[in-house]
Structure 1
Amino acid sequence: MVGTLRKIILGLGLAFVLGAGASHAENLSISAIPALDIGKVVADSSVSRFHVDAATGVVTRVSGTAIRLTATNATVPTVTITCAQSSGNCKKTYTVTVTNGTTTSGRSTTIPTFNVSNLSTQAGVTFSPAAPSPAAPLVFSIVSTNNSFTASFKLAFDATFNSSAVTGSTAWTYSVVVN
């Protein structure tokens, strides 16, 4: 009888250890709309670069001779990253990487620089650095001491146009990866 009880206790002990050791991965979600676009541009015989301000969507020509025909500001996407896990696995540092996707058509080239603004989150969650410098790829961290969090930021970019490429509609794609 004592031998049988010992086997049951050892069996339950192993089950508890395996249950405690099982990974409870956090549930991360990322949303961002719309695609990056600055409207209609007429390009001359040089490569031109435009800057989109993440806070306002204001588009300014940085170099080249291209002319932007669209009079309104660019629509700047808000990227929202949400982490949810009841067991507290959101309490760690996440690396956020924003990279170039592919261009759809027209005279667009890769995005030479991404920039962010309006970084927002709740107490217990910070961005590191607090104001990431423009770059491509753009890499920064979200540091969380919370069981769950939502963080968001406005994402903009610099756009380049190759005047020797075919004309057409131009939009840029990008990816946001959180590790």
Structure 2
Amino acid sequence: MGNLFPAMVPIALIPFLVFHQSFLVAGEEAGKALIAKTCNQTEYPEECISALESDASSLSANLTGLGRIAVEQSASKLNQTLSYVDSLVNNATDYATWASLVVCQYSYNASANQIQQGLQAFDQLKYDKTYQSVAAVNQAVIECNNQGLGILTQVDTALFRLTKDAMMIVDLLYYANSSYIFSL
């Protein structure tokens, strides 16, 4: 037992270090400075900043917290979009529009389950799985947009941009954690 203890200490510290790694990556930055620094690395920085600042908890969040907020907001925006599409399906007046809306409805429904699994993966620090789940929502937007429904252009664009930015933030977390773990 005496020889085993020194070997167990580094192993026991790994989960602690991985959990707190985002504090080390982000340094002392917090609040609007961290939001701006993070969002400036995304494809749509202005929308990213606006989305993250709309959640009061983002002002005290570290990089990991911002990632979680971005994925949560993607899930919320997906649910709002799905509700809107559901109402359009129920009120469609012609078959061609209804059929195209049903394609969107199906794609969004399928990705809604995936993003919930992605949130669970996030909590388990499985950022690659989280990225895949958000990418599935982004793909659903592309599939819906391919239906050519002008009535969905605005909501599809907003969801597409939000998920693209969330994917980038999760990607930053994945690589920050991977490089930190490998440097141990």
TM-score normalised by the chain length of structure 1: 0.24
Structure showing greater radius of gyration is: 1
Higher helix share: 2
TM-score by length of 2: 0.23
Instruction: Return the structure number with greater strand share.
Output: 1
